[in-house]
Amino acid sequence: MRQEVGYKEKSGQFTKFGQWYADRVQDTQYRDAPWCDMFIAWASDKAGISQYVGQFAWTPSHAAWFMRQGAWTQKPEPGALVFFDWRGGKSYKGIDHVGIVESVKGSKIHTIEANVDGVWLKRKTRETDKVVGYGVPRLVKATADKPAEIRLTERPFVPASRSESGSPLDFLGTPPALLTAMVLMTVVLSLRFSGRRRGTHRRFSWPWNAPTHPHASSAPPSVKALPVAKAPPSENARAKPRPTPTPAPRPARTRVPVGSTTSATTSATTSATTGSTTTATRRPTPTRRKPYDPS
C-alpha cells in the first residue's frame, strides 16, 4: 500500500484500481469512477485480508457493512478505515470519502487516501471534525474467529438424544398431542353450550301435558302412558242389571186404491197376552158407475 503513494490517475479518470474492480464485478462503469474505496479493496485483496476489510466502491455501503459486523467505532486507531462527510454530518448516509489511518497524534490523524486533490494517492493529516466514524478490520476478524474459540462451558445446552425404541405413549406429552387435545376440548364445549342456547334439551310429554286435540295422540310412542287407577265399584254397580224389554212388531199396512170405499181394512194385530195373530176379512165393495158408462 505504501508503495502506491504518489499514484496519479490517467486521462479520462482511468486508474488501474478502477480497472481491477470493474473486471471483478463485471461492470465497466467503474473504470473511470471515483476510486478512493476501490483502492482500499485492491490493497486488501493484495494483502489477503479482504474478508476483514470488505470490497466496496460506494462508501456509505462500506460503512454500513462495518456496522453490521459490530466493528464500528468513534475512536481512531492505526489500520482502521476512516469515513468522512465533508458537510460535517454524522450519519453514514452522508459519507462521501474514505481513507486508511496510518497513525494517530493528539487530536489529528495521519492517513493514506486515494483520489485526493483531484488525481492523487497520497498521505494526509486530518482533523476529526469531518469524521463520521471508523471501521476496524481487527474487530471484524475477532468476530469471525470467535465461533472457533468458544469453550465447552460456553456452548449452548444440547438435549440428550432419545432412544429410537421409545414407547408409543411418549407422543402424549409432545406439543402436537397437547394441541390436538385442546382443539377437541374446545369443539366439545362449543357444541355443548350452543345446544343449550338453542333449547335442544329433551322434553317429556306427561299425561298432564297431553294434547287437547281430539285426533291427537294422548302420548308420544316413545313414552308409556301412566296407568290410571280404577275407582272402586259402587253399590248400584254391584246390583244385577235389569233386562231391556223387546218392542212388539208393528202390524203391516195394506195400501187402498184411491176412490174405493171400504168398510174395513185388512190389518194384522199382535195379541200381547196370547201372542197369536188374527187377520180381518175383506168385505166386497160396490163398483161405482163411471159417468160415461151407458149402462
SS (H, E, C) 252-288: CCCCCCCCCCCCCCCCEEECCCCCCEEECCCCCCCCC
Beta bridge partners of 110: 103, 125
Q: Residue 53 CA to chain centroid, in angstroms?
A: 48
Dihedral (CA of 114, 116, 119, 123) sign = negative
Return the H-helix or E-strand segment holding 97: strand 97-105
pLDDT in tens, 243-276: 666 666 666 665 655 554 444 444 444 444 444 4
Q: What region, left, alpha or beta, does residue 118 occupy, with left being phi > 0 and alpha being psi -120 to 50 degrees?
A: left
| Owner of C-alpha cell 469515513 | 83
Q: Which residue blocks in the chain are alpha helix, DSSP H?
A: 16-25, 36-47, 50-53, 59-68, 137-145, 175-197, 235-238
Per-residue pLDDT at 229 exceeds 90: no
Region 55-79: mean pLDDT is 96
Rounded Cα–Cα distance for residues 100 and 59 (Å): 13
b/e burial code for range 57-67 (CB count within 10 A of at least 16 → b): bebbebbbbbe
| Owner of C-alpha cell 196370547 | 274
Whole-prediction pTM: 0.51
290 confidence band (pLDDT: 50, 70, 90):
low
124-138, 175-189, 213-227: the lowest-pLDDT one:
213-227
238 confidence band (pLDDT: 50, 70, 90):
low
Rounded Cα–Cα distance for residues 151 and 187 (Å): 51
Q: What region, left, alpha or beta, does residue 18 occupy, with left being phi > 0 and alpha being psi -120 to 50 degrees?
A: alpha
Rounded Cα–Cα distance for residues 254 and 269 (Å): 13
23 confidence band (pLDDT: 50, 70, 90):
very high
